[in-house]
Structure 1
């Protein structure tokens, strides 16, 4: 199987423009470029055009790795800030007010359910399933 892929690769490289082959070699030497494309920060077309116009010695290629490091640090700090803001909001909540909102939501859902059952009609055989009936008093014991 590996031999087949090697042959396919050779056939496609014969058809590629020499500048594309040079760009592929440049990318192999700079793996941070691959990471930038995988993260979605750039496309291969954009990077190829920059490489073709600016050349391999441009400062853009040196800053790719350093920009990613600073962005990852800032993203981890933003996650910590987000969590601390959530914890702060939970501390400020009034339990009685939250309970009131939950009760209002429960009443609204009950009203919606009653409207839906009115539109469904009074035909219980169509979509409703009755739970099995058990004994009337499950704790009925005999006296000795």
Structure 2
């Protein structure tokens, strides 16, 4: 017996990627074309919490958050099946994001968060402005 409620649900969950999502790739391609270099799927503070794009010298961590997984105010949905499982899981994701932001800022990092639905060029331009503003 699978952990998923249905075969379709199982296939959908297996297809979810931790890194290299389409929105991440679009932002990374744009940043690269602007001449910026960065680390991908990197833990800024060590440990298990990883940022999608990290500028180590600039101490800037960038997250491209999925609307479903991270509670986008415009697009988040609550699953109808197994809500007793999903609601706490999704709530914990949001709490973990907030904890990560606090930890990074306390360690002197700049944290930038964007939603997957945001336009990649605009996101990349915002990141580039931040990274180029900071001094060593």
Question: Do both share a fold (TM > 0.5)?
Answer: no
TM-score by length of 1: 0.23
Higher helix share: 1
Q: Give the structure with the larger strand fraction.
A: 2
More RCO (CA 8 Å, sep 6+): 2
